[in-house]
Structure 1
Amino acid sequence: MLIKYYIKQQCSAFALLVTALVILPSVVAAFNIYFYNTKNKLKSADAAIVLGAEVWQDEPSPVFRERINHAINLYNKGKVSSIIFTGGIGEDKDFAEATVGKRYAIAHGVKESDILIETKSQTTLQNLKNAKKVASRQDLSKFIIVSDPLHLKRATLMARDLGMNAYPSATPTTRYQSMESKLKFLVRETSAYFFYLMSKI
């Protein structure tokens, strides 16, 4: 009986340890993702890189529109002299995200000559890789990454891993308003963040 009790106790302790090793890093990562942008002061840059998001026909979705509006605001304030829109054609879509973003920005006062686009990417990492290529042709080397707050830790890490001189700037308003939507986005971003870290090993 004592042996069985000992084994049971050891198994319970091991299970608790494994659970702690899995949950604790996830909680810490989620905390850092949630508060990441508050630790970064906005800097001026050559260009704002707007990470792609869903489009509705030939219009930006509410999430994408918030990102575009923030980039336009940075442009109008003189924080950046150019805007790079990223994103290809999504599944069952007719227009590339970057193309929709460009049209919206022009309609809201941004000079077409100050806009660059890449229309092939489907992921955040591809957004950044392609934006870097587009920017290099124009001798742009310092960037502000524009996206939703919870997206920026992973996106900025990716940009810096690509050798980009990049700083985050979160949309001051977000369509992820409810606690449920924020939690879902946070869980998704935490998983994606860990997956990216593992892919580098």
Structure 2
Amino acid sequence: MDGRLSRRRRRWGLGGWCWRLACVVLLWLAGVSAYIVWIGQRDQAAPADVIIVLGAAAYDARPSPVFEERLRHGIDLYQRGLARRLLFTGGFGGAGARFAESQVGRRYALRAGVPAGAILIETVSRTTRQNLQQAARLMQANGLHTAIIVSDPLHMARAMRLAREEGIDALASATPTSRFRTFSTRWRFFLQELYFFHRDLFMEAV
């Protein structure tokens, strides 16, 4: 009798620890999720040296709808006089691509009336971290110290954390509209950002 009772207590104890662990994990995920949403809803746009528009997919010489939203917002900030320079990031999307994402952004800005001398680009990055690494190098080479970072709302939390890691003194200004409009596309993008957020934390820890 005592043996059976002891085994039950051990099983209950193990189950209790599993339940506590599950609660901690759920609370952590809820907190991170709230942080991602909160950062994406803030607009810190204020005078800075440069506006960094993070790259996104391009279709030959045309920006994807997501990239176009970022370009529009970055150019709007420039036309409002918040910075004298625009910096477009993003390399070649794949084999055979004629234009880097940043080159597509430059063409788009020129058509919008932005002077060529106000535009900086890099053409080698393929990830958000690389976008910001290359942006930091260009800023240093051109004597630029402060930046406004432009991306989609759900992308801003990770972008800002990576910017800090690259030593960029940055403010966040997410696009006021997003091409991730449907519930399914927003949910997929959110889960993607949640995954990358934790992956980057794990990579830093090891």
Q: Same fold (TM over 0.5)?
A: yes
Deviation for aligned residue 1:39: 4.3
Q: Show structure 2 runs of 5+ residues with no match.
A: none
Counterpart in 1 of 2:110? 106
Counterpart in 2 of 1:132? 136
Kept in 2: contact 1:99–1:117 (CA 8 A):
yes
Deviation for aligned residue 1:88: 0.5
Kept in 2: contact 1:87–1:119 (CA 8 A):
yes
RMSD between aligned alpha carbons? 1.3
1:117 correspondence with 2:121: yes
1:168 correspondence with 2:175: no
Look up the equivalent residue of 1:176 and give its one-letter code.
Answer: F
Deviation above 3 Å: which 4+ runs of structure 1?
37-40
Kept in 1: contact 2:75–2:109 (CA 8 A):
yes
SS of the residue corresponding to residue 48 of structure 1 reads strand
Q: Show structure 1 runs of 5+ residues with no match.
A: none
1:80 correspondence with 2:91: no
Query: Normalization by structure 2: what TM-score?
Result: 0.93
Percent identity between the two aligned chains: 37
Deviation for aligned residue 1:66: 0.3
Residues paired across the two proteins, number: 201
Counterpart in 2 of 1:56? 59
Kept in 2: contact 1:30–1:187 (CA 8 A):
no
2:19 to 16, 19, 31: 16
1:195 correspondence with 2:196: no
Counterpart in 2 of 1:151? 155
Larger radius of gyration: 2
- Report which stretch shifted further, 39-48 or 158-167: 39-48
SS of the residue corresponding to residue 110 of structure 2 reads helix
Deviation for aligned residue 1:189: 0.7
